């Protein structure tokens, strides 16, 4: 069978050159498919048909693809990828020539930004230019105007003119001006039948620009050319990462009385490519590897600053300084020559030509670093750790038609488990949930996924399992348990003052808060039930009752209660929390201080300190009252003097009543002076006693 014929049977269109040294493949893929090309190798006319040998799918949205084949002598292979996949190819492509050959350069077409490419042509069509703007770029080029307004000449330019088409209606029209044999002529572009460019070079540039623009609209594929160099027939391998659908897991759990739970796990994979998988070694890798896309395909140009030439004014007649001695000039010249010579001797050597990546030494290590181990499995899949990842190596090679999915069994085993009911008032205030506590007694990491639960031969409900490591234990709930009713009765207890202390004038009191409730569980079933009660706990709460807890999970206490058939059981849960609160003693009233003096939790030292504080506060308050009384007397006399002065203004000067008022004012002034002196002394006494209280509080610390 001819090589071209074999390509057609594989769904590939290929072309073998006359020399028979190169085969070019074209892969037809749907735009939404991210797996891309799985046929990762094409060889010479004397090459073995390429075959996908290994696929590893990750649940982070990428896949590793490997193909193996043979080449004979120097060979090249063309791979076709979508433009969006080229970045992943550049980032991850690995080539190996396993039998002593050499890998040469991998070639692919460059992708300049379309605007930059268009600007490189002689005619700039970026920005969607109009016909007038396009012709204006061709000033000086000879063109021919077709009928009905025929003409031939050099383009002088295009301008816009306002013309009246109807009475009162003016439109703007582009007008082309040509220099013809008969002089300058103008043509309205909206009336021109056709324009021919007589300059073949300009016409060619315009065609190239238009073809470039057209190619940018195509959801095209790019050709990546792999080059192998060597002698004789050799094995080669290519591998790369591409975006891929994640693989998913689902489980079936069968429960039966007197038997261990039976777990069956399935992995769902999709072959969303246009190629069939034929006897592919498939690995499913769980974990969360970091994966990202980086634009390595688009050329990046670094902006450079624009420098301007320095402009010099006309030279003025120079003046010269005194000369340098000849000996000094020779020494300076010698130093300059040495510096130049030293520089030339230290310039970098010319770079060597790259010879490619040698594949030698791989003959005895055929699996290499890219391959996944093909060890046998116990039943369906082998568990293998890969760093922090976990891989399922499918036992037998997988064949899967393109655009089809498959379910592959990865777990089939009995596991440890106990049926029970799970009550959490936040889930349902009255009924618990039917559940099971399973222990992963397999050697596999169980991926998260849905679990369909069968109790005997009956569908019991659906659950969800998280990522579960070997020997890890987890609860699962799958249905509402209507056979058990739960009520909770809270017992309110007032907060309690536990202790008092003083720290630098702040009274700190510790209070105890109690959360007490009783759960009553009524089992209406003819079989005994085990119920797990989940009690939320937040902050610094301490479990007081019961003494033993089944387990603590995050912000939950779990208590295990056995409820006999057709019976009732209770579980009391008591939590305590203590908290410190503080209040500045300088702002406390005497009654509040006296309350804490008489408190049963106050220590003798604290009572003594509080009593001293009370005495100092009483003395300060007494001085404050004395000052207030004096200030009140002064205020009363001021008011009386104001009244007398107003009366004097209304009476005849020199009258007896005026003289009596003046005498009284004089005596009041004497009294005010005396009271103000007493107020000054009283105010100083108040300040002294206040400072004494503040100093006392600042130094006061009592446990």
Give pLDDT tens digits for 567-607.
999 999 999 999 888 888 888 888 888 888 888 888 888 88
Residues 614 and 512 grouped into a single domain = no
Asked if 361 and 95 touch (Cβ cutoff 8 Å), the reply is no
Predicted pLDDT at 315: 52
Q: What is the CATH number of the domain that holds 184?
A: 2.30.30
Name the E strands within 215-299: 221-229, 233-243, 248-255, 262-271, 277-286
Cα separation, 325 vs 330, in Å, equals: 9
Residues 6+ apart with CB under 8 A from 372: 54, 56, 281, 283, 384, 386, 391, 393
pLDDT range class, residue 151, cuts 50, 70, 90: confident
Report yes or no on 316 lying in a domain.
Answer: no
Structure letter (DSSP) for residue 582: E
pLDDT range class, residue 50, cuts 50, 70, 90: low
Residues 135 and 64 grouped into a single domain = no
Cα separation, 224 vs 81, in Å, equals: 7
210-219's contacts with Cβ under 8 Å and 24+ in sequence apart are: 210/125, 212/114, 212/117, 212/118, 212/121, 213/114, 213/118, 213/125, 216/114, 219/31, 219/82, 219/83
Cα–chain-centroid distance for residue 419? Answer: 40
Residues 488 and 579 grouped into a single domain = yes
Residues 230 and 171 grouped into a single domain = no
Asked if 105 and 156 touch (Cβ cutoff 8 Å), the reply is no
The pTM assigned to this predicted structure is 0.58
Structure letter (DSSP) for residue 313: P
Residues 386 and 290 grouped into a single domain = yes
Predicted pLDDT at 559: 95
Does residue 652 or residue 327 have the better pLDDT?
652
Asked if 51 and 40 touch (Cβ cutoff 8 Å), the reply is no
Predicted pLDDT at 472: 92
| Region of 441 on the Ramachandran plot (φ > 0 left; ψ -120 to 50 alpha; else beta) | alpha
Looking at the structure of the chain, the number of domains it has is 4
Report yes or no on 520 lying in a domain.
Answer: yes
Residues 23 and 97 grouped into a single domain = yes
Report yes or no on 148 lying in a domain.
Answer: yes
Does residue 630 or residue 390 have the better pLDDT?
630
Q: What is the CATH number of the domain that holds 555?
A: 2.60.40
Report yes or no on 308 lying in a domain.
Answer: no
Lowest mean pLDDT across 234-243, 281-290, 363-372, 612-621: 363-372
Compute the average pLDDT of residues 174-180: 88
Beta-carbon neighbour count of residue 615 at 10 Å? Answer: 10
Predicted pLDDT at 218: 55
Query: Which of these three, 585, 620, 651, is where a domain ends?
Result: 585
Predicted pLDDT at 497: 87
Compute the average pLDDT of residues 463-484: 92
Residues 600 and 564 grouped into a single domain = no
Predicted pLDDT at 478: 94
Beta-carbon neighbour count of residue 329 at 10 Å? Answer: 11
Report yes or no on 220 lying in a domain.
Answer: yes
Q: Tell me the pLDDT tens digit for each residue of 495-547.
A: 888 888 888 888 888 899 999 999 999 999 999 999 999 998 887 888 999 98
Residues 6+ apart with CB under 8 A from 605: 702, 703
DSSP 512-578: EEEEEEEEEEEE-SSS-EEEEEEEE--TT-EEEESS--SEEETTEEEEEEEE-TT-EEEEEEEEEEE
Report yes or no on 358 lying in a domain.
Answer: yes
Q: What is the CATH number of the domain that holds 653?
A: 1.10.287
The SS3 call for residue 697 is helix
Residues 6+ apart with CB under 8 A from 501: 507, 508, 509, 606, 702, 703
Residues 107 and 233 grouped into a single domain = yes
Query: Which of these three, 585, 619, 653, is where a domain ends?
Result: 585
Token pair recorded at residue 419:
């049926």
Q: Tell me the pLDDT tens digit for each residue of 285-332.
A: 887 778 888 888 777 778 888 887 776 565 555 544 544 454 444 444
Cα separation, 451 vs 449, in Å, equals: 7
Q: What is the mean pLDDT of the chain?
A: 78
Report yes or no on 334 lying in a domain.
Answer: no
Query: Which of these three, 585, 613, 636, is where a domain ends?
Result: 585
Residues 524 and 598 grouped into a single domain = no
Predicted pLDDT at 434: 94
Q: How far is CA 528 from CA 53, 190, 192, in A?
A: 55, 95, 98
Predicted pLDDT at 290: 81
pLDDT range class, residue 114, cuts 50, 70, 90: low
Compute the average pLDDT of residues 628-654: 89
Report yes or no on 325 lying in a domain.
Answer: no
Does residue 163 or residue 632 have the better pLDDT?
632
Cα separation, 223 vs 586, in Å, equals: 84
Burial class (CB in 10 A: 0-12, 13-18, 19+), 531: buried
Residues 106 and 237 grouped into a single domain = yes
Mean pLDDT highest for which of 119-123, 306-310, 449-453?
A: 449-453
Token pair recorded at residue 630:
């004096």
pLDDT range class, residue 48, cuts 50, 70, 90: low
Domain region containing 227:
1-111+216-247+272-301+353-405
Residues 195 and 238 grouped into a single domain = no
Residues 524 and 608 grouped into a single domain = no
Cα separation, 615 vs 590, in Å, equals: 10
Q: Which of 300, 293, 303, 294 is nearest to 112 (CA)?
A: 300
Compute the average pLDDT of residues 462-481: 92
Predicted pLDDT at 27: 29
């Amino acid at each position: 069978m001819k090589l071209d014929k074999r390509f057609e049977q594989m769904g590939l269109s290929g072309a073998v050159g006359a020399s028979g040294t190169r085969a070019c493949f074209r892969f037809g893929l749907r735009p939404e498919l991210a797996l891309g090309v799985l046929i990762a190798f094409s060889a010479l006319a004397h090459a073995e048909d390429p075959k996908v040998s290994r696929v590893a799918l990750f649940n982070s949205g990428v896949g590793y693809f490997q193909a193996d084949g043979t080449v004979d002598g120097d060979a090249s292979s063309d791979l076709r990828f979508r433009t969006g996949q080229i970045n992943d190819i550049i980032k991850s492509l690995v080539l190996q020539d396993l039998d002593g050959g050499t890998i040469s350069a991998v070639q692919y077409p460059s992708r300049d930004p379309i605007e930059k490419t268009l600007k490189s042509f002689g005619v700039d069509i970026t920005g969607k230019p109009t016909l007038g703007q396009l012709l204006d770029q061709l000033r000086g080029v000879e063109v021919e105007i077709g009928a009905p307004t025929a003409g031939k000449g050099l383009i002088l330019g295009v301008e816009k003119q306002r013309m009246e088409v109807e009475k009162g209606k003016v439109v703007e029209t582009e007008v082309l001006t040509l220099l013809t044999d008969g002089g300058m002529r103008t043509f309205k572009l909206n009336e021109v039948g056709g324009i021919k460019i007589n300059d073949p070079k300009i016409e060619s540039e315009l065609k190239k620009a238009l073809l470039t623009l057209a190619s940018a609209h195509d959801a095209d594929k790019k050709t990546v050319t792999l080059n192998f160099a060597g002698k004789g027939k050799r094995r080669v391998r290519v591998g790369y990462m591409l975006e891929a659908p994640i693989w998913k897991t689902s489980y079936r759990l069968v429960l039966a009385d007197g038997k261990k739970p039976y777990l069956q796990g399935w992995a769902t994979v999709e072959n969303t490519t246009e190629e069939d998988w034929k006897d592919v070694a498939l690995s499913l890798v769980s974990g969360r590897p970091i994966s990202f896309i980086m634009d390595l395909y688009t050329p990046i140009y670094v902006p450079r600053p624009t420098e301007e030439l320095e402009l010099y004014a006309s030279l003025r007649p120079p003046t010269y300084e005194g000369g340098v001695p000849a000996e000094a000039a020779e020494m300076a010249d010698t130093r300059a020559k040495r510096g130049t010579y030293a520089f030339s001797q230290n310039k970098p050597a010319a770079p060597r030509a790259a010879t490619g990546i040698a594949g030698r030494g791989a003959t005895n290590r055929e699996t290499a670093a890219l391959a996944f181990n093909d060890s046998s499995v116990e039943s369906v899949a082998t568990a293998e750790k890969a760093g922090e990842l976990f891989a399922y190596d499918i036992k037998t090679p997988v064949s899967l038609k393109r655009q089809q999915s498959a379910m592959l069994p990865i777990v089939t085993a009995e596991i440890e488990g106990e049926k029970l009911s799970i009550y959490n008032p936040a889930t349902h205030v009255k009924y618990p949930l039917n559940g099971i506590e399973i222990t992963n007694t397999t050697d596999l990491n169980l991926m998260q996924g849905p679990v369909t639960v069968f109790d005997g031969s009956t569908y019991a409900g659906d659950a969800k399992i998280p990522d579960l490591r070997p020997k890890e234990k987890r609860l699962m709930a799958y249905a509402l348990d209507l056979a058990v009713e739960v009520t909770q009765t809270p017992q309110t207890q007032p907060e309690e003052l536990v202790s008092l202390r003083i720290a630098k004038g702040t009274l700190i009191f510790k209070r105890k808060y109690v959360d007490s409730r009783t759960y009553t569980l009524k089992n209406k079933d003819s079989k005994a039930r085990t119920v797990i009660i989940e009690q939320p706990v937040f902050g610094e709460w301490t479990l007081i009752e019961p003494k033993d807890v089944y387990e603590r999970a995050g912000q939950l206490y779990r208590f295990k209660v056995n409820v006999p058939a057709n019976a009732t059981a209770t579980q009391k849960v008591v939590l305590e929390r203590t908290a410190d609160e503080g209040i500045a003693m300088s702002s406390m009233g005497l009654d509040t201080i006296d309350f804490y003096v008489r408190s049963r939790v106050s220590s003798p030292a604290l009572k003594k300190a509080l009593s001293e504080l009370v005495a100092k506060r009483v003395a300060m308050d007494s001085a404050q009252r004395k000052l207030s009384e004096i200030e009140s007397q002064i205020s009363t006399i001021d008011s009386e003097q104001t009244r007398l002065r107003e009366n004097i203004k209304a009476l005849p000067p020199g009258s007896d009543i005026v003289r009596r008022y003046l005498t009284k004012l004089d005596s009041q002034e004497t009294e005010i002076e005396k009271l103000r002196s007493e107020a000054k002394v009283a105010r100083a006494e108040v300040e002294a006693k206040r400072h004494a209280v503040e100093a006392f509080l600042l130094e006061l610390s009592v446990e």
